[in-house]
């Protein structure tokens, strides 16, 4: 029985991105079957190749972020390399880039040029502040987008400065919006007979779009959401607590029936039956009291016992997982969220599984991030370049 094709099989994606936002967007496409050609500078390639923990000189992050992609080296300042890219564009469905606005235009590779070459092309443009507006020419990393988009302001404790989330979440959120926009543009192109279009994603807007009720609460009431540490403001109880053995556990008992079960389970029948605590408004009014009760109970028991009681009472809860916890967790393992692969020297290692899970046409990892320029010759041969021409291009510094 033949395996089902992946949902994006048949689509060709060109990636001009580096580091996080653009490459993460194209990684998602590659995981679900698109042919992704990652264009890299011959001079070292994507800087992500050297970020964080290295294995024999290459980032372990790279092997994940570039999985299922082909690496093509092009010096886009060279006319011959630009000609190669234009030929690829004529066959492509999506082009993903995350240069500062105006960079591709200066190279003669802006939207108007590429759209004329291929009217059906969808161009995903990820940048700090978008392609328009007074800030469009300024550099903007994910950290800036998280700050301007409102996330950093509300992250941390009220008596301390704002903190980051621990990962470059702004870049990743922007990548998700980029993929969503690309798929919507393809839907328009293929179902409504439309042409390609630009998907313009600003990092600060990608973060801003996730900010829940922040805008109407300020506009209607002048309310500014502040940092509240580990609690969920206005929704009680939901917080992180520390166990007797120094572990941390998230407890979400903010549903009315859940709260009652929780209080009964920990021997606080008085609070379970208190009519003033029967809804969220009443509980939030006595928030400090309730968190004190929960803190004392959690602190009296080791993590295993806390989780056992909460599981029995059907109260949503979880330990705060480290990477080590994930590697031994049966849920992660049952869902194939730690996939085995092999590094270039054959050493086995684990990488994150595929999200989301599709029942009929699931994504998969076919190969890990490639060596710099690993597929250059094969791609050029497909375009009709012979070995002598490819050697000449290399000698000229075009590839």
Active site residues: 171
- What's phi and psi for 27, nearest 5 deg? -60, -45
The tokens for 124 are 């995903």
The tokens for 208 are 């801003």
Using CA atoms, how far residue 170 sits from 71, 180, 228, 385, in Å, is 25, 16, 20, 40
The tokens for 377 are 């010759």
121/111 Cα distance (integer angstroms) = 10
3-state secondary structure of 306: helix
Q: How many CB atoms lie within 10 A of CB 334?
A: 8
**Among 228, 88, 210, 73, residue whose Cα is nearest residue 157:** 228
CB-CB contact of 59 with 368 (8 Å): no
Given the structure tokens 């194939």, which residue do they identify? 336
The tokens for 94 are 């999506």
- Eight-class DSSP state of 344: T
The tokens for 166 are 């621990």
The tokens for 288 are 């400090």
The tokens for 118 are 């291929």
């Amino acid at each position: 029985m033949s395996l089902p094709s992946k949902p994006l099989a048949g689509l060709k994606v060109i990636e001009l991105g580096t580091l996080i936002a653009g490459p993460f967007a194209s990684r998602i496409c590659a995981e679900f079957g698109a042919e992704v050609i990652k264009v890299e500078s011959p001079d070292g390639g994507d800087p992500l190749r050297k970020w964080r923990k290295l294995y024999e000189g290459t980032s372990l992050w790279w092997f994940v972020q570039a999985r299922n992609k082909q690496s093509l080296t092009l010096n886009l300042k060279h006319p011959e390399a630009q000609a190669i890219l234009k030929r690829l564009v004529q066959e492509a469905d999506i082009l993903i880039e995350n240069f500062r606005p105006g960079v591709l235009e200066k190279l003669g590779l802006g939207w108007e040029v590429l759209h004329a070459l291929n009217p059906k092309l969808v161009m995903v443009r990820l940048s700090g502040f978008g392609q328009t507006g007074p800030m469009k020419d300024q550099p903007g990393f994910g950290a800036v987008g998280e700050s301007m988009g409102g996330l950093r302001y509300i992250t941390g404790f009220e008596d301390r400065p704002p903190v980051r989330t621990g990962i470059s979440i702004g870049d990743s959120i922007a990548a998700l919006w980029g993929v969503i926009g690309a798929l919507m543009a393809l839907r328009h192109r293929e179902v409504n007979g439309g042409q390609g279009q630009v998907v313009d994603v600003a990092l600060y807007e990608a973060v801003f779009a996730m900010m829940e009720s922040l805008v109407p609460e300020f506009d209607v009431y002048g309310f500014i959401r502040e940092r509240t540490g580990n609690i969920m403001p206005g929704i009680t109880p939901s917080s992180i607590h520390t166990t007797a053995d120094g572990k941390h556990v998230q407890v979400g008992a903010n549903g009315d029936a859940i709260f009652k079960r929780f209080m009964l389970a920990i021997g606080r029948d008085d609070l379970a039956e208190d009519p003033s605590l029967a809804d969220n408004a009443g509980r939030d009014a006595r928030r400090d009291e309730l968190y004190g009760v929960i803190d004392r109970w959690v602190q009296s028991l080791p993590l295993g016992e806390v989780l056992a009681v909460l599981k029995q009472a059907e109260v949503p809860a979880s330990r705060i997982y480290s990477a080590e916890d994930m590697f031994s967790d049966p849920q992660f393992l049952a869902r194939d969220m730690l996939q085995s692969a092999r590094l270039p020297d054959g050493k086995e290692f684990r990488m994150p599984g595929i999200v989301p899970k599709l029942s009929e046409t699931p994504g998969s990892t076919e190969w890990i991030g490639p060596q710099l320029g690993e597929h250059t010759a094969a791609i050029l041969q497909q375009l009709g370049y012979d070995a002598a021409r490819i050697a000449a291009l290399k000698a000229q510094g075009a590839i």
